[in-house]
């Protein structure tokens, strides 16, 4: 399935292809943020390429939630920062990752 067809299926305008090697249609983090994820699929953006994977199974989610819960309790107790589950992180203009569990340090004294 091509990226532009995925975007159109969700009502977003298909991005214009960027010139370069190959025929892939690359999108920006801004275009990625405008996409709606259908049930049962999960998106990430890797160097402009939309990565589509199936949603995790219940066993995976149970383990993810347990890790997140335990880590969150430790982080709150020690006032180290924040723990989040399934949150998008924009790493660059064309890369967005969604880790199962993420820790955000508050070394600077503020998270936001």
DSSP 8-state secondary structure symbol assigned to residue 25: P
What is the CATH number for 52?
3.90.1570.10
DSSP 8-state secondary structure symbol assigned to residue 6: H
Residue at 90 is within a domain:
yes
Residue at 110 is within a domain:
no
In the numeric block, which tokens belong to residue 22?
């190959």
DSSP 8-state secondary structure symbol assigned to residue 92: E
Count structural domains, the chain: 1
Residue at 95 is within a domain:
yes
Range of the domain at 32: 3-105
pLDDT 10s digits, 10-29: 444 445 545 555 667 899 99
Residue at 38 is within a domain:
yes
Would the pTM count as exceeding 0.85? no
pLDDT 10s digits, 38-97: 888 899 999 999 999 888 999 999 999 999 999 999 999 999 999 999 999 999 999 999
DSSP 32-79: HHHPPPPTTEEEEEETTEEEEEEPPPHHHHHHHHHHHHHHHHHHHHHT
Residue at 112 is within a domain:
no
């Amino acid at each position: 399935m091509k990226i532009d067809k995925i975007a159109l299926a969700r009502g977003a305008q298909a991005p214009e292809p960027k010139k370069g090697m190959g025929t892939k249609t690359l999108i920006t983090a801004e275009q990625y943020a405008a996409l709606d994820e259908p049930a049962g699929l999960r998106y990430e953006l890797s160097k402009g390429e939309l990565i589509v994977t199936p949603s995790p199974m219940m066993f995976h989610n149970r383990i993810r939630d347990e890790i997140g819960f335990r880590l969150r309790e430790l982080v709150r107790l020690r006032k180290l920062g924040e723990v989040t589950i399934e949150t998008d992180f924009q790493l660059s203009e064309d890369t967005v990752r969604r880790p199962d569990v993420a820790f955000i340090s508050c070394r600077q004294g503020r998270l936001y």
